[in-house]
Structures are given as structure tokens and as C-alpha cells.
Amino acid sequence: MSLTKEFCIRTLLVLTLVNCQAITAQCQEPVAPTGTAPLTIEGDPASLMVDGLDRFLLRQITNESQTRSAEFRLNTESTESLKASATEYRSTLASCLGIRDPRLTFSRPEIITWSGLSSIAAESEEVIIQAIRWPVLSDPSPQGQGLISVAGEGLLLTPKGPVRASVIVLPDADQTPEQMAGLQAGLPASQQVARLLAESGCRVVVPMLVSRQREKRLGRADLTHREYLHRAAFELGRTLAGYEVQSVLSLVDWFEKDAPDQPIGVYGHGEGGMEALFAAALDTRIDATAVSGFFGPREASWQEPIDRNFSGLLKSFGAAELACLCAPRKLMVLTTEGPAFQLAGNGGAPAELSSPSPQAAAEEFRQAQSKLGPFGENLALVQPKERVVTPEILSAWLTQLTGAAMSTAKAALTVHDSLVSAIEEGREKRIIQQLDRHNQLLLRESPFVRKDFMSKLDVSSVEAYTQSSESYRDVFRKSVIGEFQIPVLPFNARSRRSYETDKWIGYEVMLDVFPDVFAYGILLLPKDLKPGEKRPVVVCQHGLEGRPTDIIQGDHPAYHDFAARLCERGFITFSPQNPYIFTDRFRTLQRKAQPLGKSLFSLIVPQHQQIVDWLQTQPNVDPDRIAFYGLSYGGKSAMRIPALVTDYCLSICSADFNEWVLKNATTRHNFSYIWTGEYEIFEWDLGSTFNYAEMAALICPRPFMVERGHFDGVGEDDWVGYEYAKVRHLYSAQLKIGDRTEIEWFVGPHTINGQGTYSFLHKHLNWPEPKAQ
């Protein structure tokens, strides 16, 4: 055979073999997820997810109510045993309300006077009415100890004759002290509680509560005064109601010191009724309490104004349990008509407040009495036919407090209108400014509090650090994010092939998590994936109001199809649907979760754990190389989820990393969430526990990266750099693993830059970067 002929035959064989391989590749079944049933779901998965989470949380609220009722136990064998068994519950209640700061002491309140005017706003033959101010809380800084930071203001009604009791009368938030004292129109004489009690020999103080009046701040969020103060306080582990209860208890401190033999009573209506019940449940020095226009089931509190959002309160307390903590002292529950209204969102939290029905109040009352056994007789239920307080009802309550009924003779009240006007002018503004400033002082102190909190981390070695961080992870999981103690369901994985390009195939995947809770996302598999080949995975997370499709197609200006681009680089990617979508529909999920001591991430974290667990079963996935990369709200996820889902081997936070507590609590910076419509964003007591540096400390020693555009409006470079410097110090200076953390600064907006982060993924996932074209 000639050489030419042999060469031709060999060439033909080679070409035939190549063609056969190409045909085989074309006919080969593409790589697909294994162990899945067909996905046949119809409708929008995101909407179905949010609806399911809503059903789950409402069911948990109901279940928690039943569990709480069964587990709440007081020892009613004796007065002493009752008091002792209530101690831990009182501590829990104080924590839920954020009552944690020592109160200032004072010998007497300040009588407020104005130049050229008498100090007496009104008087009769029986009573003198004056405006007063009293200290409540100190400046929280070491240098400011003892300096007044928060003061209460209100009216003092002093009988001219003998004083038989000291009483605090708390109006509703939309009532004024002057109305309760009869100095101002708004209440009939028969409902002017403060005046009636003072004319019957009680020294009465009527504090001013912050109103629900709305104000548009910085031309942006239209918030009530109460929500404005609530937002920062909640992030710092306090509440507005807690501040106002502290003001009440500071008056109790004064009463006890000034007249130790006189009984102390608290009466409250509406918002004041709620705070009167809180105060009496907390402080055993209060001898008798009357709660009007509030008492009833609390399971729908998530619908109420957001300043009534108390983290974890429903885990331990409904109205019945709070009433039990008032025993063996006297409590009168009045089924009077409470405030009822609707609040539109307009940048704030929408709300609906309804007055509890007499029937619902009576049922809660019966529960309280049954828990108290022989001490239940100290609770009284009064159901007035017209659903308003009357002098006869007040007389019965005063008899509980002092043993004597209310006097009936009433003298005319002379009101000095000019002084009353002076009293009201600027008073609420001063109170709001003081509480705002106090929140900002707490914010200023919060880095020192967090540093002390994290001081038990052992940085002597990576191994010691990893071990010592577990206790902090446990705190983060249970006390900050919140954890449902519910078994996770089997995967029941379903999938369908839905997307395809010349380089990858996309599958929708759905997994069960809890009853009514599922995980859903889009799995992208490279077409060059070989059977049995193990590759790294990048879980790519969209932002607020986003969907998985936003990050695989359409070149969204924030995402630039980064999940698809990473798949084209050889990574398997999974893009979950997170439930922060549909505005108020998801934001009210947070409202439902927080009274249970939970959060939206209490559900997102198990979803991601289920996703990772399932990915690790897939034959083409390297279970040790699963990374997380999220932008914006996905960046928030990048700080919280990998801190708890430790199967994520690294995390990249894009377009979100911040001095997070500052961003949530500051009223000085324009980038603050105080001014925006994200009313769900505030998380309980991060100020004392976990800012982003502390969350990153839970990701450490795994690789961690920040992607930051200089013109990204979520924050400012100096604050981002300030917070990241703490992360860098931990990795590089303390643990000597500086090669595991980076920050990329780029000239650009709120977007995936996809330069340094892609290299970071290739480096730490040990996957070769594509060669430059």
C-alpha cells in the first residue's frame, strides 16, 4: 500500500471517529438534576411562596397562643409563692419591652413656669393643676452618667385637702393630659378621669404620651411620631412603649419615696391602657390598676400600629398572662370602647386598630382567673352597657385602691387658658426630640456594647476561633434571627426543564421545607458537564422585589445575568426565589414573625439549608464547594444566611455591606432606613449584638468578600470602609488568614461588577478562570 493511500485511509478513519463522537454528544441526554419528580406547579411560584409563608405564620401564632396558655404557670399555693413564680416572667416581659436602662432618681418633679404667668394652670376649691417635668433616663455614655437624657412631662393634680392615694392616669396616644384633667374640650365631664380622682383626694399625674400624628420627614416617609421613634429604638433593643412605661415607673419611684404609706394606682385608656397593664405586670409597688379600651386577644397585634411590635411578646404573654402578673394586687378590666382607626402606609407601616369586643375581653379575663385559682378574685371585669367609663366605675376602682368610694361634690374649675396654651406649645416636640436624641446616644454607644458582647471570641488560632464562635452562632440563630423548632420535611424534589442557551440548561426546582413552606429556584447546569464530574456551585441571590429569572436573562442593570455568566465560566449555579417580594404582602410576614421572636429569615434560612442539603445529593456537585453571592437584599442574605448555613463555603456581599446598625437607626444621615418605606427592615436589638462585622465574624474563617460601588446609594464609602476594616482586622491581623477576605471598590452604582468577585470565586472554589479571548 502506498504511503499516500495509507495516509488517506487513516485520515478518513480519524474524521469518521470525530464525527461519531460529535453525533454521540448531540444524541447524549443532557445532564439533569437527579432524584426529582416532574414539577407541575401552575401559577407564580413567588406569589405561592409568600401565600404559603403567610399561612404558616398565622398557624404558628395560633399554635403559640395555645402553647403559651398551657405552659404559663404560676404557683398559687401562697402569696409568697405567687410572687416568686412571677419573677422570671417579669424579667422576660421587661426584655420584650426593652426596659433595661436604670432610671434616674429625683426628690420631686420640676414645676414648669413661664415668665409673667402663674404656675397654676387651673384650680378649684379642691384641686390645683400644674405642669411638671421629671427625669427618667440618663445619658447612656460613661461621661454622661447622671445627666438627664429623657424626661417625662405632663400635668400634676394636687388635692388641697388630705391626699389618700397617688395615681398615674395614662391617656390614649391621641388624647392629651389637658383633656383628661378637664382643661380642654374632647371628653365629657364624666370621663375626665384625672380630675374626678383628684377631686376625690388623689394626687394625680397625667403623663403626655407621644401621639399618632403623622409627619413627612425629609420629604420621604410619611410616619406617625410613634413609628418614627419606634424604628431606631427597635434596632437598639428598646421600644417607645418601653420608654413610656419607664416614665410611669419613675413616677412610682417618686410616689414610693415621697409618701411610702399611700397606695399607688395606675389607670389607662387605649394606648395608656396597654402601658398601664405593662407597668402593673412589671412593678409590684402598684397596688391597683384599671385597664380601659385595650384588654383582649393579642394574636392580631401584627395588624396594629407598628410601635406595638414587641419582639417575642406573644411567646410568653397574651392579655390573660399579663393580667396574671398583676395578682395578688387589684386589677379592673373595663370593656370600654377603645381607639379604632386605619393607617395608610404612605411610606410607613399600614395598620388597623380595632377595639376589643366585650366578649373577647371576657374570654381573656376568664383565662386569667382560671390560671390564678384563689387569687383570681383580685381581678374584676366591668362591662359598662354604653362602653364608656363612668363615675360609678371609677368610684368602684378607687374603693379597690383606697377602701373608700369617690366623693360626689364637684366645685367649678377655673382654667387659665393662656397658661394651658403655653403648656401645650412645644411639649410633644420636646418629648420627641429627647427620645430621638436618646436613641442616637444609644447608637453612638452601640459599637462599645457590641465589642464587649463579642469579647469571648478566642483568636489564638483558627481552630480555637471556630470553636468559640459556635456559642455566638447559637445566639444569632435563636435570639436574633429566630428559629422554628419544627422538623424539616423530606425534599420531595420536583423539577422541570424551562430555560436553555447554547452553553447551559436551566431547571426550575422546588423542595418542601415546612408545611406550607417550600424552596424554589432555577438550577443552571453547564452543557459541557460530564457524567460524574464534580463541580463547584454558586448560589446566586436576587434583591428586593426580584426573581430568579432576573439574574439569568434580560441583562437587568443591577444583576447583569450574573448567575448565567458564572455558569458560562463553568460553575453550576442555583438562583433561589427569596420571599421579599410584593411589598406589603412580604413586609407583613415580618410583622407576623417578630411577636413570636422570629423574623423573615427564620424561614429563609431553613429554605437555604434545604437547598444546600439537596444540592449536596446531586452527582455533579462538589458538596464542599458551594458558595453564596447576593446583591442588595441578596447582600443582606449574604450576611445572615451563611452565618447560619455553614455548608456555604464562602460568601460574597454585594451592594449592601454597611455599618448596618447606623443605617437602620441614624436620624442624621440621608441614607438611613428611617426615611424609607422598608418598615420591616428593623431587627430586634442588633445594636447590642450583631452589626455586619459581627455577622462576618460568624462567616469567618470561611472566605468572605464585599463588592462595593462608589456611587451605590445604600451607604457611603467611609462607613462601608469603617465596618469592613473590622472584618479585615479579624482575618488578617488576628487570625493571620488575610488571603481569605477582600473588598473590591469600583466606580459604579448599585450593581454586580463581576470582576474581583468572579476571580475570588475561581480562587476559593478552585476552578480555573477562562482564558482571555
Q: Backbone phi, then psi, for 526, in 5-degree steps?
A: -60, 145
Q: What is the pLDDT of residue 29?
A: 58
Distance CA 265, CA 286 (A): 6
- Checking if the pLDDT of 9 tops 60, the result is no
Task: Please compute the mean of the pLDDT values over residues 126-137 and round it to a whole number.
Answer: 97
pLDDT tens digits, 527-539: 999 998 999 999 9
Q: Backbone phi, then psi, for 353, in 5-degree steps?
A: -115, 125
Q: What is the pLDDT of residue 118?
A: 85
Q: What is the pLDDT of residue 116?
A: 80
- The answer to whether the CB of 762 falls within 8 A of the CB of 569 is yes
- Checking if the pLDDT of 218 tops 80, the result is no
Confidence of residue 693 (pLDDT cuts 50, 70, 90): very high
Percent of the chain exceeding pLDDT 90 equals: 91
Report the chain's terminal Cα–Cα distance, integer Å: 44
Mean pLDDT is highest, among 29-38, 138-147, 700-709, for 700-709
Confidence of residue 21 (pLDDT cuts 50, 70, 90): very low
Average per-residue pLDDT for the chain: 94
Query: DSSP states of 176-210 as a string?
Result: -HHHHHTSSTTS-GGG-HHHHHHTTTEEEEEEPPP
- Checking if the pLDDT of 30 tops 70, the result is no
Confidence of residue 464 (pLDDT cuts 50, 70, 90): very high
Confidence of residue 409 (pLDDT cuts 50, 70, 90): low
Q: What is the pLDDT of residue 6?
A: 53
Percent of the chain exceeding pLDDT 70 equals: 96
Distance CA 290, CA 196 (A): 15
Q: What is the pLDDT of residue 519?
A: 98
Q: What is the pLDDT of residue 27?
A: 42
Question: Residue 704: CA atoms inside 13 Å, Cβ hemisphere, count?
Answer: 32
- The answer to whether the CB of 680 falls within 8 A of the CB of 590 is yes
Which residues lie closer than 8 Å to 407 by C-beta, 6 or more apart?
Answer: 199, 200, 201
- Checking if the pLDDT of 25 tops 60, the result is no
Distance CA 266, CA 401 (A): 10
Q: What is the pLDDT of residue 49?
A: 98
Distance CA 154, CA 100 (A): 23
Residue located via cell numbers 427620645: 435
Q: What is the pLDDT of residue 411?
A: 77
- State the chain's maximal CA–CA distance in angstroms: 136
CB atoms within 10 A of CB 437: 14
Q: What is the pLDDT of residue 408?
A: 76
Task: Please compute the mean of the pLDDT values over residues 702-728 and round it to a whole number.
Answer: 97
Q: What is the pLDDT of residue 436?
A: 98
Distance CA 522, CA 178 (A): 61
- Checking if the pLDDT of 2 tops 70, the result is no
- Checking if the pLDDT of 499 tops 60, the result is yes
The cell numbers describing 731, all together, are 482575618
Residue located via cell numbers 367649678: 412
What's CA 645's distance to the chain center, in Å? Answer: 21
Task: Please compute the mean of the pLDDT values over residues 228-255 and round it to a whole number.
Answer: 98
